[in-house]
Structure formats: structure tokens, C-alpha cells
Amino acid sequence: RASSCSSSTSSRHLLSRAYSADASPERKIAVLGAAGGIGQPLALLMKLNPLVSHLSLYDIAGTPGVAADVSHVNTRSEVKGYVGEDQLGAALEGCDVVIIPAGVPRKPGMTRDDLFNINAGIVKTLCTAIAKYCPNALVNMISNPVNSTVPIAAEVFKKAGTYNEKKLFGVTTLDVVRAKTFYAGKAKVPVSEVDVPVVGGHAGITILPLFSQAKPQGINLSDEDMKALTKRTQDGGTEVVEAKAGKGSATLSMAYAGSIFADACLKGLNGVPDVVECSFVQSAVTDLPFFASKVRLGKDGVEEVLGLGSLSDFEKEGLEKLKPELKASIEKGIKFAHGN
């Protein structure tokens, strides 16, 4: 790499910096739960994103240190740390995108639904503040159980009169990240060439990878291979929880996945065409009110919820099997939001 001491390189460098700063509008991002296992690496990855101009790091403890640390990285965004509920409003004011990895993670033997009792209340509090301080922000929900926390957020926003179904996303990108990795390993193709849609929800059998649509096409894996890949993707979170043996769940791969999804949201807001990611959103793709599928992102958030495409018999069966569990999780979230 050329040294920036050379004058021609240096002026080119300055020009390209000026161009990218001009071309990319100011965007404020908040990470709620920024001092946590996901929050810290996610804060770093968002600090590395040139589309971010202001990075707001909020948690109930520990954010001054995380913010001071991340703020020394010499990239575009200005970083501020906020700690405790009385600073939540300032953290959120003016945000374009709010990413929520706040809440407790699983330990071995737990399901994501076992986190409901603690995380539902946390998400409700945070979404109440979002409705008040940045009602137009795109919300990227990471906190589990996503199948219930997204419906909770929707109900909180409806109650506040700020709900816009185009702006609420359950982050299921980690399922896609895993499906791509596992598929590339099995099919022995470069992972950078692989794409796999993952639909449904984000827990156990509600996670439905569509390996029959995997790219590159023309790779013939056996039915047994497809089933094993599906199971590994569905159990990917548990694989990490067990390997961490009581010290939490996926944090680094989740931060990576969260940063990919937030970047896609920012690109959509900035008018980049054809930005498509899978996400758990309000949906008419099935008879369930929320469902994960490919979504085209635009200047207002969801531009189009894309359909499922053609499914193999195994995937059709998986789709029917997941519906009762996903329906119950959605209803549990809605009920909680109304009952409290």
C-alpha cells in the first residue's frame, strides 16, 4: 500500500475522502446493549462503517469505557457513550437506525423462549423510548426470542401511534451467515460465492434454510446432506451455547451478522438499489403476521417483502411444521405487550 506521505497519493486520498463524505449523508446509529458480548464487537464494526457519521452507544452500565475505547479508531463517525435510563433519550435522538442487542443470553439447556421473561420487559422499555425519541428510525431487533420480541416492539409502537411496518426488523442474518458457511463446507465451493435464503423465524425448527435455492446452482447434494445442513443451521445457536458452556451465546458471529444487516439498512436509506437481505418482518407471505423472508430495503425501510420461491418437498414440510410454534411465539409477544 502506498504511503500517504507521497503528495500525489495524499491528495488523491484526501479527494476520495472528501468525495465519500459528501456522497454519504450523515447517519446516526445507536446500539442499545452496547457494553455486552454482542454490543462491543458490533460497536467496533459499526465504527468501521463509512456510512455511519454518529455512533451512539447505550447500556445500563459500562458504556463510557466502551465508547472511549472505540472512539479512538480513526474512522468517520463520532462516538458517544450513554449510560442509564436517564440518558436513553439523548442516545436515541436523531437516530436513523437503532440496533438492539440488549438482554440476557442463553445458557446450555435453555431455549430462546426461556429468555422471554427478562428480555420482553427490556425490549418493551427500549421500544417505548424509541417511539418517543426517534419514531422514524429503522429498528434492528437482535434480542431473543426474536419471534416474540419483534411482535412486542410492533405493539409498543402501535400503542404509541408510531408503528410503521416498514421500519421494524428481526435480525435473522446470523442464520443466513451460518447456512452459507455450512453449505460452502459441504458443497466444497468458495463461501464468497454462496447464497442461501433462510425463512420462517429465529428459533429451532422455525429457522428454515432453503438449500434447494442455494447459489451457486447445479450442485447436487443428497437428501441426507440437505437434511443434515438444515439441522445444523437450525441448531447453530445451540452449538455455540454448548461450546461456550455457560458463558453465553454467539457474540462475534452475531456482531458480524448484525453489522451486515445494519449496513444493508443504511444502503437502502441512502438509495442504493437492489439491497436484499432476509429478515423477520410484518409479512403477507404466509398466514402468519410476521415471517422472515428476503426483503428489499429502500429509502423508507422495507421496500418489498419477497416471496418464498419454489420449495422442495422437504422444505414444504418444514414450512408447515414451523407454523404452529412461530404463531404461538408471535401471539405470546402480542399478549405480553397488551398485558403490561
**Residues noted as catalytic:** 202
Residue 240 interaction partner, one of ligand LMR, ligand NAD, none, beta carbon < 5-8 Å per kind: ligand LMR
237 lines the binding site for ligand LMR (CB under 6 A): yes
Residue 42 interaction partner, one of ligand LMR, ligand NAD, none, beta carbon < 5-8 Å per kind: none
Give the nearest distance from C-beta 337 to ligand NAD in angstroms.
16
* Residue carrying the nine cell digits 429478515: 279
Residue 241 interaction partner, one of ligand NAD, ligand LMR, none, beta carbon < 5-8 Å per kind: ligand LMR
Task: Mark the segment that binds ligand LMR (CB under 6 A) among 105-113, 159-167, 291-299, 322-330.
Answer: 105-113
* Residue carrying the nine cell digits 442455494: 214
* Residue 51 DSSP class: T
**Euclidean distance between CA atoms 138 and 262, whole angstroms:** 9
Tell whether 144 is in a known binding site. Answer: yes
The residue among 26 and 239 lying less far from ligand LMR, judged by its C-beta, is: 239
C-alpha cell at position 270 = 441512502
Alpha helices in the chain (DSSP H): 7-23, 39-47, 63-71, 88-92, 116-133, 146-160, 173-187, 223-234, 236-244, 252-269, 313-339
The residue among 142 and 187 lying less far from ligand NAD, judged by its C-beta, is: 142
Tell me: cis bond preceding 64? Omega within 30 of 0 counts. no
C-alpha cell at position 132 = 418517543
Q: Give residues 137-176 in contact with ligand LMR (rule: CB under 6 A).
A: 144, 174
Q: Give residues 292-331 in contact with ligand LMR (rule: CB under 6 A).
A: none
Q: Which residues bind ligand NAD (CB under 6 A)?
A: 32-33, 35-39, 59-61, 101-106, 115, 119, 122, 125-126, 142-144, 146, 171, 174, 202, 248-251, 254
Please name the residues in contact with 331: beta carbons below 8 A apart, sequence gap of 6 or more: 151
106 lines the binding site for ligand LMR (CB under 6 A): yes
Give the nearest distance from C-beta 203 to ligand LMR in angstroms.
7
Tell whether 59 is in a known binding site. Answer: yes
Tell whether 36 is in a known binding site. Answer: yes
**Euclidean distance between CA atoms 226 and 11, whole angstroms:** 53
19 burial type by CB count under 10 A (0-12 exposed, 13-18 middle, 19+ buried): exposed
CB 33 within 8 A of CB 62: no
C-alpha cell at position 116 = 422471554
Residue 79 interaction partner, one of ligand NAD, ligand LMR, none, beta carbon < 5-8 Å per kind: none
Residue 32 interaction partner, one of ligand LMR, ligand NAD, none, beta carbon < 5-8 Å per kind: ligand NAD
Binding site for ligand LMR (CB under 6 A): 105-106, 112, 144, 174, 236-237, 240-241, 249-250
